[in-house]
Structure 1
Amino acid sequence: MRVALAEDSVLLREGLVRLLQEADCEVVAAVGDGDSLVRAVREYRPDVAVLDVRMPPSYTDEGLRAALTVRAEAPGTAVLVLSQYVEGSYADDLLVSGGGVGYLLKDRVADLAELTDALDRVVAGGTVLDPTVVAQLFAARRPLPVQRLSPREREVLGLMAEGRTNAAIARKLVVTAKAVEKHVSSIFDKLDLPPSTDDHRRVLAVLTWLREAASDRTGAPVTGA
């Protein structure tokens, strides 16, 4: 797996390079800002871009904007965004861009197995959302369509938001795969997500919940790009 990395802290960048190499990745570029990452992706076309949310010059959303540029210019390149803090609006914007994206807290990537699993899933076209982000956004939920879900359905949706497959959810909850399929189908029905050949309903279900959480924090509806 070929990786382009952006992290402004030299120490953290070098640590991530070594960790990625331990995960059998080829680091084709390791840079310190979002613009340099975009240029590296254009030149090397890596399998995945791994980048921090906050980078120079303003240390606000440079990483996010670089990630969205990568998704627009090189849709075949997966994106794994790392952050020191839970910033739900960033997760929402990232998921709007489609599959092959992930959002993890930096503390979690120290676990080599978890990092490898996240990289494998985003490169395969899946989505990965940090469980801490999932938990905090559920806590911020307001009484909109997601309230229609049962406690078990909300639990299933939370695991879907982490990028888990039905089989993985079944193992986590110690239920049958058929039970999970019924819960997922019920989630789609309650969130008014009919079958479609053009849309990915799992992503749309997660986005519905993320937008409600973000709307609850800001007082205004959140719309995708």
Structure 2
Amino acid sequence: MRVVIAEDSVLLRAGIQRLLADENIETVAATEDGDGLLVAVSEHRPDLAIVDVRMPPSFTDEGLRAALRAREQQPGLPVLVLSQYVEERYAVELLSGGAGGVGYLLKERVADVAEFVDAVHRVANGGTCIDQEVIAQLMARGRRNPIDVLTPREREVLGLMAQGLTNVAIAKSLTVSDGAVEKHVGNIFSKLGLEPSAEEHRRVRAVLTFLERG
């Protein structure tokens, strides 16, 4: 796997690069700002971009904007965004394209090597991975519709889907059968009005609905 890193903190950038190297993942470019990310993506066509949300010059959302432009520049580019704080709208913006290969993690997750590496592989392989703290906040907020039509178990399954778990992993987490999870997922798609489509990823659309209305 070939990765581009965009992170303004020299220490964190070097730490991520070392961590990836230990997992035999090659960092083909490491930059400190969004412009550097776009240049690196254009030059190297990486398998994954790991991007800090807040970067120079204003330290607001330059990294996210650069990540979205990079996905336009290289359609389907998997992007794993790192943030210091939980900011749900960033996760929503990443997923709004309706495609997989996106992740949103708090920077503190990097310290958990196994969790971080799992997220890297999951996103690079076209999956989604949303930080569990984002999921927890959405669960606690309790906004109305359309998530209210789901049963508590279906909401639990959808929350695990948002974290990027496969049906098999969800079944293991909930100690239920694979068939039971498949039934819950089917019910979720049906209740949220997500019909099969060649143009949209239903799993991603369900997660996006959860993030927007959870």
User: What's the TM-score, normalizing by structure 1?
Assistant: 0.91
Residue in 1 aligned with 2:111?
110
Query: What is the rounded CA distance, in whole Å, between the counterparts of 2:182 and 2:16 in structure 1?
Result: 37
Query: What is the rounded CA distance, in whole Å, between the counterparts of 2:187 and 2:148 in structure 1?
Result: 13
Residue in 2 aligned with 1:186?
187
| Deviation digits for residues 50-105 of structure 1 (CA, Å, limit 9, x no counterpart) | 01000000100001001101111112421110011101000000012311111111
Residue in 2 aligned with 1:124?
125
Residue in 1 aligned with 2:84?
84
User: What's the TM-score, normalizing by structure 2?
Assistant: 0.96
Residue in 2 aligned with 1:160?
161
Matches within 5 A, 1:208-219: 208-213=209-214
| Deviation digits for residues 3-44 of structure 1 (CA, Å, limit 9, x no counterpart) | 110111111111111111112111111111111111111011
1:63 pairs with 2:56: no
Deviates more, 1:136-145 or 1:52-61: 136-145
Residue in 1 aligned with 2:8?
8
- Name stretches of at least 5 consecutive residues in structure 2 with no aligned partner: none
Q: Is the 8 A contact 1:47 1:76 kept in 2?
A: no
Deviates more, 1:191-200 or 1:53-62: 191-200
Could you say what secondary structure the match of 2:100 adopts?
Answer: coil
Deviates more, 1:131-140 or 1:178-187: 131-140
Residue in 1 aligned with 2:22?
22
The root-mean-square deviation of aligned C-alpha atoms, in Å, is 1.1
Query: What is the rounded CA distance, in whole Å, between the counterparts of 1:120 and 1:15 in structure 2?
Result: 18
Q: Is the 8 A contact 1:101 1:128 kept in 2?
A: yes
What is the percent sequence identity of the aligned residues? 62
Query: What is the rounded CA distance, in whole Å, between the counterparts of 1:151 and 1:134 in structure 2?
Result: 14
Residue in 2 aligned with 1:222?
none
Residue in 2 aligned with 1:36?
36
Q: Is the 8 A contact 1:67 1:79 kept in 2?
A: yes
Query: What is the rounded CA distance, in whole Å, between the counterparts of 1:198 and 1:44 in structure 2?
Result: 27
- Name stretches of at least 5 consecutive residues in structure 1 with no aligned partner: 214-225
Query: What is the rounded CA distance, in whole Å, between the counterparts of 1:151 and 1:166 in structure 2?
Result: 17
Q: Is the 8 A contact 1:23 1:112 kept in 2?
A: no
| Deviation digits for residues 126-151 of structure 1 (CA, Å, limit 9, x no counterpart) | 11111111111222231111011111
Query: What is the rounded CA distance, in whole Å, between the counterparts of 2:16 and 2:118 in structure 1?
Result: 15
Query: What is the rounded CA distance, in whole Å, between the counterparts of 2:76 and 2:58 in structure 1?
Result: 28
Could you say what secondary structure the match of 1:49 adopts?
Answer: strand
Residue in 1 aligned with 2:50?
50
| Deviation digits for residues 144-179 of structure 1 (CA, Å, limit 9, x no counterpart) | 110111111100000010111110100000000000
Could you say what secondary structure the match of 1:14 adopts?
Answer: helix
Deviates more, 1:172-181 or 1:190-199: 190-199
Could you say what secondary structure the match of 1:172 adopts?
Answer: helix
State the one-letter code of the partner of 2:32.
G
Q: How many residues align?
A: 213
Query: What is the rounded CA distance, in whole Å, between the counterparts of 2:173 and 2:104 in structure 1?
Result: 20
- 4+ long deviations beyond 3 Å: none
Query: What is the rounded CA distance, in whole Å, between the counterparts of 2:193 and 2:77 in structure 1?
Result: 31
